[in-house]
Amino acid sequence: MTVTPDCPTRYPATGISVLIVGAGVAGLMAALECWRNGHDVRIIERSSKQVTTGDSFTIGPSAIRTLKYWPKMVEENEKIEYNPTISFHDLTGACATAPKHINYRQGRDSKNEPEQVHRHWRPQFHNMLLKQLSAIGIKVEYGHGAVDYFEDGPAGRGGIVLKNGDRMDADVVVVADGVGSHSTSVTMGRDIQARPSGEALYRTAFPVEIAMADPVVRERFPVVQGKEGPIELWAGEKIRFVIGRTADTMSWTLSHKASTIIHPWAPDYTSATESWSHNTDPDEVLKITETIPDWPEVANRLIRLTPKNRLLHFRVMWRNPQPRWVSPAGRIVQIGDAAHTYLPSSGNGATQAIEDAVSLATCLRMAGKTDAIPWALRIHNRLRFVRVSCLQKLGLLDRNSYSRAPSKGDYTLKRIQYLMAEWIWGHNPEEYAEENYYKVLDHLQRGTPFRDMNIPRGHVYRDWTISEISSQQERGEEIELDGEWD
């Protein structure tokens, strides 16, 4: 196939074959970046067709910056991104703070101007990546779900077993199939135990004209123009209700905890699943809202308008940081949610998945030959783990403050402030991999010192667990953050 002139110039061919499992944001971006870095790419997806559901997420500058190599995606991204404001409310909908934009914060030595936060609708961003893949001649092979993984170290191959028993292999297998991946049995040697958080989310996004057809809803949530995207965060004891909208999309999320359910006929928290395809009925949500004192009718009207095939019931699970993403023979590597899961409210899952994709493709290019792949994967793992673990920890910061009504005046969550820090948004994963590849190679092979520079200045990393953090929060203690996190 002839690649169009508006696609990036590829690095010289490496001869490395890459099989990517999973066509979410992580997998699609890995396919694009592996192609750009000179590798041969094949991508499979367990779903029978493209998944078009999902709501909004934040993708930070450290990830969006990578699009500069893809002119068509730069152009498309400018069309689909929007600029949110956030305001805090109690559970009657009464406003405690005026809407305001969220700005990235500039560090003390910064020479860059921080940008305002932008958000994307998952289906639009996903479709943009798919169109770019098509332009370079790569098609997603749907209906291929991996149920097992294998590798042959002497032969230098990694592979997968499909549900029908067929096998596929390549020089390197990139696992991007999300939470609960079967690949942990080969990377960690065991399944990763997930711990229930006690929380579940009803969440949806649908065309805004469905909501605007109701005059009461339209009056309370007026039509939005241009790139604006107001977000209202309603908070109270054990309940969060987040309403977001743009010129073309309406979304809402209701978070509930197990103890919220006080009627025997109300929806069961344990019926939620850790899946982005578990649909439910809006009437189930109304069984919760009717237990909330002074809950406004306009919110119930919005919930009733939600299409049944667009409402998900997602169970929030906790997992400890997973330090090893690479199989023993170095032919299989995890990226995105398969390697590191984030709470949905962390605001970093998509960004870190894209950073993973860029870092991995770069490390494979730096390896330059197939027999160096195992070291390239281990180097990528070492470059990324401490950073993503810090961000996982940050996602737990002052999480409990979401579950109390905001007071009038300036109400800014500490976690949001920290997430705007320059050590997060100013990172360049490609440059970082290029600059540190051989330093980490020496570190892994000879034990020479290596200091992470993609984490908060002055932070000394130590391993931590969800149980440790939860115990601190239950005792009313703040999570300790040494170094300059903000």
DSSP tag of 468: H
Calculate helix-pair angle for 122-135, 71-80, nearest 10 degrees: 160
Asked about 203 being catalytic, the answer comes back as yes
Q: Which residue has the tokens 């893949």?
A: 133
Alpha helical stretches, state H, 98-169: 122-135
What tokens appear for 421 in the block? 């820090």
Helix (H, G, I), strand (E, B) or coil at 169: strand
Q: What is the sign of the dihedral through the CA atoms of 378, 379, 380 and 384?
A: positive
400: which 2 tokens?
A: 């409990």
Query: Residue 271's CB: how many other CB atoms inside 10 A?
Result: 12
Catalytic, out of 65, 119, 203, 399: 203
CA angle, residues 82, 87, 90, in degrees to nearest 5: 140
d(CA 239, CA 250): 20
What crossing angle do the helices spanning 349-367 and 373-395 adopt, rounded to 10°?
160
Query: In one letter, which amino acid is 330?
Result: G
Residue 472, token pair as written in the block = 């601190």
Active-site residue set: 203
